[in-house]
Structure 1
Amino acid sequence: MASSFDSYQKRRLQSSYVSVVISIALVLFMVGVLGLVVLKSTKVANHFKEKVAMTLFLKDDVTKKQLEGFRASLIKEPFTKKVIYITKKEAAKAYSKDIGEDFLKFLGKNPLKNGIDIYINADFVTPKKMTELENEFSKNAFVSEVSYDKPLIQLLTKNIKRISFWLLVLSGFFGLVAIILINSSIRLSIYSKRFNIKTMQMVGATKRFIRKPFIWQSIKLGFLGAFVALLSLAGLIYYVDAYLPALDLIKDYITLGYLVGGVLIAAFIITWLSTYFATQRFLNLQTDELYY
């Protein structure tokens, strides 16, 4: 009879552990997906920002030697992503192709100027910094005019701020949900052992001594749940990368490193805190309060 009861208790305990691992895995998978979106959204935003070019139209009297020196100085600047020199002849060909006819036949001469397209690093693509660069280049002795798409910069900055704000709100919401769900699962698991906790306390065990095995057990379950979540995330990333190779998910080792580290750290912190406060609650209860 005692053997049957022990077997029943063991199965019940194992079932409780499985439910905790599944709950942790599901929640961490959800958090991991959101984290991936957040990390990739920054990269995607930077990708679009770095497509923005500032064009410097050069004066006609700039010599080849001066041009080479100017280009070399631009490449060394921290705001420079890439520098492309476009001659007035190349610009005329491109413009003729855009409008569908050779405008030089009507004008007789090329009114365009030699230019340098500077593709800006993402950190400098803001209305304020672009205006500062424009003012700086306007004072340059080699530059006759500075041109870039100001409305596009303002629109990009506005939309990126808006998206970042809502992603932050969504991250906070899912983070709270994750803590609540994992905390509830761990509390239910510890609730089944509340009499064992009180018995240990009554025979003189300290709170720290009682909490320690529960915390370690929960951390193990948390890491097991994190492992399951990471396997699921790996499958999702492989699937998405097959259909959207432009995102370059599998080869983005930095993002994947942050994702793995974030999931493992979240599993450790949430399970540790949840177990600590759950055991603390039962340690502070009176014996007659354990039945309610």
Structure 2
Amino acid sequence: MATSYEKYQKRKLISSYFSVIISIFLVLGLLGVLSLFVIHSQKISDNFRETIPMTLFFNGKTSEKELTAFGEKLKQAPYIKDFTFVSKEEAAKNQEEALGENFLEFLGFNPLQDSYDIHLNSDYVVSDSIAKIEAQFASNPNISDIMYDKQLVEMVNDNIQKITQWLLITAGVLTLISMLLINSSLRLLIYSSRFTIKTMQMVGATKRFIRRPFIWHSMRLGIIGSLLAIAAIIGLSFYVDQKFPDLDINPTQNYMPIVFVSLGLFLVGIIITSISTYFATQRFLNLKSDELY
């Protein structure tokens, strides 16, 4: 009977250890993902800004030499990320593929214009800067029209600031929640050993001596949980980089964000478990024997 009871207690203890590790893993994993998102938020917003196109249309009097010279100027401009020249013949072909019919035969002429599709560097995709660039292009007599989504530019800049603020607030709240959840899990684990703690105290063991093995054991659980969270975050980073290469996360070369987040999670896992275990054991050390039930 004693053997069966001991086996039951052992299984119960292992189950408690497992639940604590899973709690630490899940909480630190979520915290790590959010931390990486905050770190990469600027890069993600820059990438999105640089996908907003601006199209410059040239009048029919513009010569091929002038178009080539304009392209050379774009190469030297600091605000240009990339650009593509689209001739009116190429534009007509693209339009024909989109419509599924040859509209040139119907019209008898090509009404489309030569154009440059450009993408600006992210620092210049703000209302003031892009307005100055637009005015500069508009002063060119060969350019007949400039098209870009002004409302999208304003919306992106406004929303990015709001999203960044909410991410920081969420990160702070999640950090607090993680501390409370891990603390609760460890308190339940220490609760199952409350009689052992009181017995050691009754035979003369000091509080420091009693706390030491519990703190060390909780630290090991914190290390295991944090290592699992770190492994999951590294795997997720490579997965996101593979699925969304345009984000340019590139964890192989740009590895410092993962290193900083991993070190942070490792330290948080150790510190939270140590502090939580300290106060949990202290609570039971201060209780009287009849208060343990």
**TM-score where L is the length of structure 2:** 0.65
Partner of 2:81: 81
Partner of 1:54: 54
Mapped to 1, the partners of 2:126 and 2:160 lie a distance apart of 11
Mapped to 2, the partners of 1:212 and 1:75 lie a distance apart of 66
* Contact in 1 for aligned 2:26/2:229 (Cα 8 Å): yes
* Contact in 1 for aligned 2:183/2:276 (Cα 8 Å): no
With over 3 angstroms needed to count, the CA separation of the structure-2 counterparts of 1:73 and 1:179, relative to structure 1, is: farther
Partner of 2:114: 114
Percent identical among aligned pairs is 33
* Residue correspondences, number: 282
Whichever residue aligns with residue 91 of structure 2, its letter is A
Q: Which moved more, 1:7-16 or 1:80-89?
A: 7-16
User: How far 1:176 sits from its partner (Å)?
Assistant: 2.6
With over 3 angstroms needed to count, the CA separation of the structure-2 counterparts of 1:262 and 1:142, relative to structure 1, is: same
* Contact in 1 for aligned 2:222/2:273 (Cα 8 Å): no
* Contact in 2 for aligned 1:126/1:153 (Cα 8 Å): yes
* Contact in 2 for aligned 1:84/1:116 (Cα 8 Å): yes
Partner of 1:20: 20
Partner of 1:226: 226
Partner of 1:262: 261
User: How far 1:84 sits from its partner (Å)?
Assistant: 0.6
Q: Which moved more, 1:99-108 or 1:110-119?
A: 99-108
Partner of 2:278: 279
Q: Tell me, what secondary structure is at the counterpart of 2:54? A: strand
Q: CA offsets per residue over residues 12-46 of structure 1, 9 Å max, x none?
A: 87665444323212322343455566678776655
Instruction: Give the gaps of 5 or more residues in structure 2.
Output: none
Whichever residue aligns with residue 268 of structure 2, its letter is I
Whichever residue aligns with residue 74 of structure 2, its letter is L
User: How far 1:148 sits from its partner (Å)?
Assistant: 1.2
Q: CA offsets per residue over residues 194-214 of structure 1, 9 Å max, x none?
A: 958x96xx9889x7x998776
With over 3 angstroms needed to count, the CA separation of the structure-2 counterparts of 1:274 and 1:144, relative to structure 1, is: same
With over 3 angstroms needed to count, the CA separation of the structure-2 counterparts of 1:264 and 1:68, relative to structure 1, is: same
Partner of 1:247: 244
Q: Tell me, what secondary structure is at the counterpart of 1:254? A: coil
Partner of 1:176: 176
Matches within 5 A, 1:130-149: 130-140=130-140, 143-149=143-149
Mapped to 1, the partners of 2:162 and 2:176 lie a distance apart of 21
Whichever residue aligns with residue 279 of structure 1, its letter is Y
Whichever residue aligns with residue 254 of structure 1, its letter is P
